[in-house]
Amino acid sequence: MIIGGFGMTVIRWFLVQFFSSKSRGHLIADIDPLGIQNPESKKLKGTSTLPPEVVVRTHFKGISDADMNKEFDLGKSTRIGGGSSRLTLKEIIARLNSIYCGHIGLEYAYITDFRVLDWLRQKFETPGIMEIATERRKWIWKHVMKAVTFESFLAKKFGSEKRFGLEGCESFIPAVAECLETSSENGVETVGIGIAHRGRLNTLVNICRKPMSQLFSQFNPIEMEGSGSGDVKYHLGTYSQRLLERAGRTMRIAIMANPSHLEAVNPVVVGRIRAEQVANNDTKGVRSLAILVHGDAAYAGQGICFETAHFTNLSDYTTGGVLHFVINNQIGFTTDPRYSRSSPHCTDVARVVNAPIFHVHADDPDAVVYCSKVASEYRANFHNDVVLDIVGYRRNGHNEMDEPMLTQPLMYKRIKQLPNVLDIYSEKLLGDGILTESEMKRERDEYLETCESEFKKAQETNVMHLSDWYDSPWSDFFENQNPNGKLPPTGVDLEDVKIICNAVSTPPEDIEVHKQVTRVMSGRRAMTEAGQIDWALGECLAFASLLKEGHHVRLSGEDVERGTFSHRQHIIHDQSKDMTWKNILHDIFPGQSLYTVSNSSLSEYGVCGFELGYSAYDHDSLTIWEAQFGDFANTCQVILDSLLCSGQAKWGRQVGLVLLLPHGMEGQGPEHSSARLERFLQLCDDDCTRLPDEETAGASNIDETAEETMTRQLFKINWIVCNPTTPANMFHLLRRQILMPFRKPLVVMTPKSLLRHPEARSNFDEITNGTSFVPVIGDRTADPGSVKKIIFCSGKVYYDLAMHRAERGLENSLAIVRIEQLCPFPYNLVAEEAKKYPNPKVMWVQEEHKNQGAYYFARDRIALTLRKPIDDVAYGGRATSASPATGNKFIFKKEFEQMIEKAMEMDR
């Protein structure tokens, strides 16, 4: 059969063009309200004009009008025919232009699952499927009206304040509202939202139904109730329950508080949702949904977006798909997108997990809402990530005080000419006869009246309640907290100790165990028989005893299943069968809680943030992140600095996340030695200008015990930093995290060589009933009357000092005191220990360099405790250094010897 002048070649060219339009149409789609991108694309919609060569290439060069009128079989790979199996080439091109080159740019051709492809084609290609019913369009208009009116109200009342308004992308609000409704219809009961500054205030009010008066009062200089620093209004989160209009169901919505590191909240939200799914046995992620809202420049530029995406299909990290929205202003802070990324779109990071991406024109609310509906249905059906890229603009500068014409003069001349989306959509609905001007005016006046009423209420508010902004539903837990009293003992029954030790010392019978694991377990059995534990057994006992008591335990990190140094061995792999293993803590006690131990992806920033979010959901779960080496915490500094250590002060968020950071100078070089203890201590809000006893002078609790003082210190501190030396103390630390009546992050400098050090052992009687964590371990050998010098130290260096003291016969004249908990500093306990010795010399010894480690932190506090000038607290250790450790063995040995010599000198 000959068609035109091309014959069968035309058919082949046609088919190439057909599929090219689907996979490449997004490159020239009419999705830019400013008309800067692809300004000619608007001429294609509804026409049979061939798209540019970037889409169809040169395959249709020379085609005639006669060829355009020929019919072709459509085949089974498309739905554009509706009920027709054949269409003319002219009609085929027109329909493809309308679907793939109009106000929606679709990216999904790279997906390899044919079921998904066919489902997406059905949702977008079927003729008439994107038409929206009259009542639904009224609902859309109402949400657009609220979004636009709210922004204009803020601009009127708070014109000189930073608001990071949504102007230019207001259709985001009906898009999220549609997502909630559709998701609820598919079983979602809880939504966790991570969103940066842009549009946050609008989302709080119009999505979460945050009382406007609470938000408006944030613009006023009012006092804040209770302790803490508070935060700017566009960082704050909330937790609410909302009755959805269409679905008629109640949905719990949490917007997580987050700092100015725009995408850092992503893994936090995903971790929080994962925790809820685990708690509710929601294995497929049906009932809880994570929504992440990105800025265009941040989504393309921030590596945390890529790290978070990789959780999507990891068994112990997945949430069953994340729904991503992009508020695409087509600009970063002031950087043109042509200079801020190398990819065609800001969303290309999502392609790594085969997520479909819908780019949509922000001034077409019908298209935006339809795409949101499809995205929500896709996530519910296929449990994978999906992206809705709402392409709009930013009517003002980065914030309302910026002048954008300085860097984008042409863009902002165009923006000044544009009507807002409410005017555009209102005119459209008026023309379609869906709403009248009087109906629109009535709705808008009612909303403005609400805004004015809430504004007046805000002016009468003179105190901010941080509890109004909590992003976790822990109200009962917060109400029952009390800084007074003693912490409960953390020891356990001896019988439970023996049961646990036996369980983790017995190789599983139903799998083939590696010989090294067998040796480890044999060693554990020998210790058990001797009534002793090492570091690994201390961990096991803490975890398993908490599991018995009903506390979920989660341990996550790059090598946590065996432990980086092969000490843990909680997951025993079969040596002959792939994907076969045994969790040896899984069923020690009948009815025990869930223990999850998971090797993570090679991501510190993302995984640490994930575990922070996980710990923010349930205060009864022990959540632990372990760095492969403590040094690797360097790459998650944003999580540590801006979310973990200051989260309670800024947002009232209490979390009990535990960081295990292998730390110690072992001659392994600069990236395998230091967890940067000094950084964690510098971030502590422990005050060294007066003793805790002086803070209570004249108060009713002036006669409190040292244990009661420590409880109060723990209650007030922002996080706890420890460098323990005994397995028993590690055991108690982990259990104390859950038994405390409040939550604080715990940072533990964990050892490496001490994991197998013969002296780093504890006896059963140090962990059984009535025992607790010991913040200060006094010298057990020195004669108080003969002591001429006290060495205060922390961590592994104690064992080096003790060995060399014994070699030199200084056991009676040199006392070594271990400070196991550095923050909050145990002033009272240090003072009690120092009282044993009559006027000795005092030295702080550490293996870290002088400008690192705990020296300056500890020196000031020891001096305050002992009422000495700080110069009287001598330093014994390595000199200052730009690097945390040497990689040269000769230098390492020399530094160590010099440190020991300083420590052993009795006249210093």
Cβ atoms of residues 285 and 187 within 8 Å? no
The residue whose two tokens read 């139903």 is 510
Confidence of residue 707 (pLDDT cuts 50, 70, 90): confident
Q: Closest Cα to residue 400, out of 234, 258, 560, 267?
A: 234
Cα 222 from Cα 418, distance rounded (Å): 38
Residue 240 in contact with residue 255, Cβ under 8 Å?
A: no
pLDDT digits (tens, 9 = 90+) for 532-591: 999 999 999 999 999 999 999 999 999 999 999 999 999 999 999 998 899 999 999 999
Percent of the chain past pLDDT 90, that is, above it, reads 74
Q: Among candidates 586, 591, 485, 488, which has minimal Cα distance to 540? A: 586
Residues in Cβ contact with 298 at an 8 Å cutoff, skipping those fewer than 6 apart: 196, 262, 263, 305, 332
Cα–Cα distances (Å) from 335 to 401, 407, 729, 789, in that order, read 17, 8, 52, 61
pLDDT of the residue at 2: 37
Rounded to the nearest 10°, the torsion over CA 707, 712, 716, 722 is 0
- 315-340 tens-digit pLDDT: 999 999 999 999 999 988 888 877 88
The pLDDT, as a whole number, for residue 66 is 83
Q: What is the secondary structure of 98-113 as a DSSP string?
A: HHHSSSEEEE-TT---
Structure-block tokens of residue 127 = 């003729």
674 neighbors 631 (Cβ within 8 angstroms): yes
- Number of Cβ within 10 Å of residue 73's Cβ equals 10
Q: How confident is the model at residue 896 (pLDDT cuts 50, 70, 90)?
A: very high
For residues 154-182, average pLDDT:
93
Instruction: Say which range, 28-37, 396-405, 500-509, has the weakest mean pLDDT.
Output: 396-405
Count of C-beta atoms within a 10 Å radius of residue 1: 6
Which pLDDT band holds residue 696 (cuts at 50, 70, 90)?
A: low
Q: Say whether 83 sits in a helix, a strand or coil.
A: coil
Segment 15-27 shows an average pLDDT of: 69
DSSP 489-525: P--B-HHHHHHHHHHHTS--SSSPPPHHHHHHHHHHH
Count of beta carbons in the 10 Å neighbourhood of residue 91: 18
Of 224, 175, 232, 231, the C-alpha closest to 203 is 175
Q: What is the pLDDT of residue 15?
A: 56
In Å, how far from its chain's centre is CA 784?
50
pLDDT digits (tens, 9 = 90+) for 236-281: 889 999 999 888 999 999 999 999 888 999 999 999 999 999 999 9
CA–CA distances in Å: residue 579 to residues 50, 362, 602:
52, 47, 20
Phi and psi at residue 494, to the nearest 5°: -60, -35
Q: Could you tell me how many helices (H) and strands (E) the chain has, helices first?
A: 31, 28
Task: Tell me the whole-structure pTM to 2 decimals.
Answer: 0.94
By the 8 A CB rule, do 210 and 174 touch?
A: no
Q: Residue 58 pLDDT more than 70?
A: no
Phi, psi of 572 (to 5 degrees): -100, 115
pLDDT at 68 over 90: no
Q: Is 723 left (phi over 0), alpha (psi -120 to 50) or beta?
A: beta
Query: Could you give phi then psi for residue 864, rounded to 5 degrees?
Result: -65, -45
Tokens in use for 398?
């980065």
Output the CA–CA distances (angstroms, integers) from residue 801 to 753, 761, 781, 845, in the order listed: 15, 17, 13, 9
pLDDT confidence bin for 799, thresholds 50/70/90: very high
Answer for the pair 834, 866: CB distance below 8 angstroms, yes or no: yes
Give the other-Cβ count within 10 Å of 46's Cβ: 11
Cβ atoms of 722 and 733 within 8 Å: the answer is: yes
* Residue 571 confidence (pLDDT): 93
Query: Are the CB atoms for 805 and 845 separated by under 8 Å?
Result: no
User: Is the predicted pLDDT of residue 624 greater than 50, yes or no?
Assistant: yes
Task: Name which of 244, 254, 229 is nearest 473 in CA terms.
Answer: 254
Cα 262 to Cα 802: distance, rounded to the nearest angstrom: 48
For residues 459-477, give the mean pLDDT: 84
- Averaged confidence pLDDT in the chain: 91
Rounded CA separation 618/274 (Å): 11
pLDDT for 359 beyond 60: yes
pLDDT in tens, 378-433: 999 999 999 999 999 999 988 888 888 898 888 889 989 999 999 999 999 999 99
Mean pLDDT of 846-872: 96
Buried b (16+ CB within 10 A) or exposed e, 494-524: eebbeebbebbbebeeeeebbeebeebbeeb
- Tell me how far apart the alpha carbons of residues 872 and 839 are, in angstroms, rounded to a whole number: 12
13 pLDDT more than 60: no
What's the Rg (C-alpha) of the chain? Answer: 32
Helix (H, G, I), strand (E, B) or coil at 883: coil
Q: Evaluate if residue 697 carries a pLDDT over 60.
A: no
Residue 47, both tokens = 């026409």
Helix orientation angle between 172-185 and 134-157, rounded to the nearest 10 degrees: 130
Q: Distance (Å, rounded) from C-alpha 767 to C-alpha 544?
A: 13
Nearest-5° Cα angle at 513, 507 to 519: 65
Give the pLDDT score at 1: 32
pLDDT class of 52 with cuts at 50, 70, 90: confident
